[in-house]
């Protein structure tokens, strides 16, 4: 008596057109650039909000990534 083996299911990998991905890529690139600015360049002198608040919030992260700030 032969045992029937079911065929393995096939999975189709969906593709996302570049035209649909581009706005998301641009948004995340802009977000990354803003984050890098606040962590690396914000010293309080050119800060978007006045004061040292952002510099103090990212202070330890600056040292962890090797940015000097003193």
How far is Cα 33 from Cα 58, in angstroms, rounded to an integer?
15
How far is Cα 8 from Cα 14, in angstroms, rounded to an integer?
19
Residue 22, pLDDT score: 94
Q: When comparing pLDDT for 27 and 66, which is higher?
A: 27
2-6, 25-29, 54-58, 60-64 — which is least confidently predicted?
54-58
pLDDT digits (tens, 9 = 90+) for 3-39: 778 888 888 888 888 899 999 999 999 999 888 777 7
Residue 61, pLDDT score: 77
With residues binned 3-state (H G I as helix, E B as strand, rest as coil), the percentages for the chain, rounded to 5, are 50, 0, 50
Q: What is the pTM of this model?
A: 0.52
């Amino acid at each position: 008596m032969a045992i029937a083996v079911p065929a393995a299911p096939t999975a189709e990998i969906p593709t996302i057109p570049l035209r649909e991905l581009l706005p998301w890529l641009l948004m995340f690139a802009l977000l990354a650039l803003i984050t890098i600015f606040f962590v690396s360049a914000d010293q309080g002198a050119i800060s978007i909000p006045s004061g040292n608040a952002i510099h103090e919030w990212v202070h330890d992260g600056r040292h962890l990534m090797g940015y000097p700030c003193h």
